[in-house]
Amino acid sequence: MESELKLVKIYRRIVMLLKKTAGILMILAFVAAMGCGKTDNKTTTENKDQKQNLQVTQVSGKEKSVVIQCSGMTCEGCKQTIENKVKKIDGIKAVNADFNTNIVKATFDDGKTNLDAIKSAIVSAGYGVESVKE
């Protein structure tokens, strides 16, 4: 009888530990699925005082292209956040962000927008603007 009682206590303890572990695993899976959590409404002042080095290349007429080295992109969600924020700017023809390299490529009509608007959109999304890679 006493050994059965011990076995029941051990069984209950194992079940409790499994429930806790399952809960932790569910939380980790949820966080992984949601990405890093950055959204369009986050801001940062991390890079305001850093020197900005942006290179603009003339594509055709009023259309220009820029390649911006950013900081802070860690996942697909970050990529989408930056692309969505920059696409909202009137005059943006195309934008492509790559979180693996932290590079944002944008083509825009310089008669409708400018580099400062693109930089502001990236910073207001919660990311830094570092420099340009050709």
Position 43 in a domain: no
Residue 3 belongs to domain spanning: 1-34
Position 46 in a domain: no
Is the pLDDT reported for residue 60 higher than 60?
no
pLDDT at 30: 62
C-alpha distance from residue 70 to each of 3, 6, 9, 65, 91 (Å): 64, 59, 55, 16, 21
Percent of the chain exceeding pLDDT 90 equals 44
Position 9 in a domain: yes
Question: How many other CB atoms sit within 10 Å of the CB of residue 43?
Answer: 11
- Domain count for the chain, please give it: 2
Q: Shortest CA distance to 109 belongs to which of 121, 92, 95, 126? A: 92
pLDDT tens digits for 77-121? 999 999 999 999 999 999 999 999 999 999 999 889 888 899 999
Position 15 in a domain: yes
Please indicate, yes or no, whether residues 9 and 71 belong to a single structural domain of this protein: no
Please indicate, yes or no, whether residues 113 and 75 belong to a single structural domain of this protein: yes
Position 48 in a domain: no
Position 97 in a domain: yes
Please indicate, yes or no, whether residues 116 and 80 belong to a single structural domain of this protein: yes
pLDDT mean over 26-35:
61
